Structure 1
Amino acid sequence: METPRPLSALPSVGVRAGAFVAILLSGLAGGLIGYSLIALQCDGDCGLPKGIGILVGSLIAAGGMAIVAVLVMRALGEWREVEDRERAGHAP
């Protein structure tokens, strides 16, 4: 017999861990893109501009992925709620 899980708005640990990893990977990709954009355009001593490119690219990409991750986790929560109602025999 399956025990009912307590009601919670929190997504599962696996979903949260997946979102965290996705945010980290997108930050890495954004940093690489920012670095590449500056490296292609800069001649000579470009340490500071490359560092700024890495920082800005990472922040933009990670911030965008964080927004997407939150929206996905909210959608999963709503989906789970609909499935729970259907199992209980209530029409949506």
Structure 2
Amino acid sequence: MSNDHAAQLQQRLQTLHNDIASTGEVDPELKDLLHRLDGDIKTLLERRLAAGTVDQTPESSTYGLAERSQELSAKFAVKHPHLEPALRELGNMLSSMGI
């Protein structure tokens, strides 16, 4: 993952947080799942930047972040369809980055 990809990913996360904040009431379970995904992505970015390994293959502890994002997208589609595209885009971004 390049520094540009990391910056784009961080921007996408911030946009998603803003979208959720403007939505109002979000199911606590979905909010918790999103919070954990967000934390895992931020941890990955911090570790890679600190180690200077932004372009290496993701470590095993990050496996499935794209899949988790897609699962969250499907859950949000039911209760909050206007948020689903942002989550789907995040999942596509993670997948294209090999995360």
Pick the TM interval, shorter chain.
0.3 to 0.5
TM-score by length of 2: 0.33
Structure with larger Rg: 1
TM-score by length of 1: 0.35
